[in-house]
Amino acid sequence: MSKPAIHATPLQQKRRKGVFYELFIKHPILTLMIAPAVLYIFVFSYLPMLGIVIAFKDYTYAKGIFGSDWAGFKNFKFLFQTGVIYRVTINTILYNLAFLTVDIVAQMTIAVFLSELTNKYFKKITQTMLLLPFFISWVVAGAIVFNILSYRYGVINNVLTSLGLEKVDIMNNPTIWPPIIVFFRMWKGIGYGSIVYLANIMGIDQEIYEAAKIDGASIFQRVKYITLPLLKPTIVILILLSLGNIIRGDFAMFYNLTGNNALLLDVTDIIDTFVYRSLMTMQNYSMSTAAGLYQSVLGFFIIVTVNTIIKKVQPDYTLF
In three state form, how does the secondary structure of the chain look?
CCCCCCCCCHHHHHHHHCHHHHHHHHCHHHHHHHHHHHHHHHHHHHHHHHHHHHHHEECCCCCHHHHCEECCCHHHHHHHHCCHHHHHHHHHHHHHHHHHHHHHHHHHHHHHHHHHCCCHHHHHHHHHHHHHHHHCCHHHHHHHHHHHHCCCCCHHHHHHHHCCCCCCCCCCCHHHHHHHHHHHHHHHHHHHHHHHHHHHHHCCCHHHHHHHHHCCCCHHHHHHHHHHHHHHHHHHHHHHHHHHCCCCCCHHHHHHHHCCCHHHHHHHCCHHHHHHHHHHCCCCHHHHHHHHHHHHHHHHHHHHHHHHHHHHHCHHHCCC
Provide the minimum distance between the beta carbon of 6 and other proteins in the complex, in angstroms, as a whole number: 19
196 within 8 A of 234, measured Cβ to Cβ: yes
Cα–Cα distance measured from residue 302 to residue 308, given in angstroms and rounded to the nearest whole number? 10
Strand-pair category, 69-70 with 57-58: antiparallel
Reference 222, options 214, 178, 244; nearest CA is: 214
CB of 133 to other proteins, least distance (A): 5
